[in-house]
């Protein structure tokens, strides 16, 4: 199942086309004039519902196309979709704050999922692999609680500024920016995020003994948050998010927590914080050593 069929979701579908025989696609959008540039749609499909366009492209695979939104206001609908589709794995690729509540539902129902996020203009990105049966951290264990180096400042270009400087209330502006954080981005930037997401999906769907060594190590060490960058930004002489070279992907886990005490709000796991204090003080050596581990560059063909 793919929830969100935009620049990441549609590309994940494209990369997996012909390899999966049963799909569930969830999106309430139509193909716009801006989409064919970096989504798996053509100009002839402009105005068509995205899930219907993808269903035609995936033929003869069996596709359940659900043309409606799944968000925090419709969690009962989401549960109904899951019971109907019974997916082996769900990709959350809407890239909005709504992915948090959906991931919580998936954890509680024991459904494996891969969550893809783009940072501002997709210069950096994050992929979280959550396999409840393997006892991995849930999305809420790691998201926003990690020591990952200094954050890159959000870029403001003309296209983004014209959107940001609309007459909106502070709350509305904050929500709008959070939900469109990846816009505008290049096809190269979003394609890299889609490729890493797809590599994780492929490994998660394989039988445990057939999985690649790098993926088995992620699960074994519970370092299931992958943080990648398409560029390098120096902040006070330190690389943003610990990314030291373009294309690098590093892995983060419970040992890298710096915030959050007590139980995780998603799965109830007792979250450690002492190790996170260490990680915050000695961040670069920790990240650079992990980044050098086998498989963590995750080439597109992985």
Span 99-122, pLDDT tens digits: 999 999 999 999 999 999 988 778
**Domains assigned to the chain:** 2-152+179-291 (3.40.50.720)
Burial class (CB in 10 A: 0-12, 13-18, 19+), 110: exposed
Q: Is the pLDDT of residue 88 over 70?
A: yes
Q: Residue 293: what pLDDT?
A: 42
Q: DSSP string of 29-85?
A: -B--TTSTTTSS--GGGTTSBHHHHHHHHHTTSEEEEE-S--SGGGHHHHHHHHHHH
- Whole-structure pTM over 0.85, yes or no? no
For 10-44, the pLDDT digits (tens) are: 999 999 999 999 999 999 999 998 899 889 999 99
* pLDDT tens by residue, 270-295: 887 644 443 433 333 333 334 434 34
Secondary-structure breakdown of the chain: helix, strand, coil percentages, each rounded to the nearest 5 = 40, 15, 45
| Helices and strands counted in the chain (H then E) | 11, 10
């Amino acid at each position: 199942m793919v929830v969100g069929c935009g620049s990441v979701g549609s590309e994940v579908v494209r990369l997996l086309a012909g390899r999966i025989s049963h799909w569930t696609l969830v999106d309430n959008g139509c193909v716009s004039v801006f989409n064919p540039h970096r989504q798996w749609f053509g100009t002839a499909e402009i105005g068509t519902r995205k899930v219907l366009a993808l269903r035609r492209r995936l033929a003869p695979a069996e596709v359940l196309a659900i043309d409606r939104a799944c968000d925090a206001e419709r969690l009962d609908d989401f549960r109904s979709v899951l019971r109907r589709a019974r997916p082996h794995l769900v990709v959350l690729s809407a890239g909005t704050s709504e992915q948090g509540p959906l991931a919580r539902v998936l954890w509680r129902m024991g459904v494996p999922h891969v969550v893809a996020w783009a940072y501002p203009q997709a210069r950096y990105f994050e992929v979280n692999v959550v396999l409840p049966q393997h006892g991995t951290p849930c999305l809420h264990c790691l998201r926003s609680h990690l020591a990952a180096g200094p954050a890159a400042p959000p870029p403001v270009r003309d296209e983004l500024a014209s959107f940001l400087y609309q007459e909106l209330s502070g709350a509305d502006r904050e929500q709008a920016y959070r939900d469109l954080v990846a816009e505008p981005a290049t096809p190269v930037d979003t394609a890299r995020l889609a490729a890493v997401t797809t590599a994780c999906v492929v490994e998660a769907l394989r039988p445990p003994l057939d999985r690649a060594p790098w993926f088995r190590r992620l699960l074994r060490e519970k370092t299931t948050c992958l943080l990648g960058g398409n560029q390098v930004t120096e902040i006070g002489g330190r690389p943003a998010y610990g990314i030291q070279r373009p294309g690098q992907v590093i892995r983060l886990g419970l040992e890298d927590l710096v915030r959050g005490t007590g139980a995780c709000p998603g799965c109830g796991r007792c979250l450690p914080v002492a190790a996170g204090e260490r990680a915050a003080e000695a961040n670069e050596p920790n990240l650079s050593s992990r980044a050098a581990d086998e498989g963590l560059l995750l080439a597109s063909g992985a």
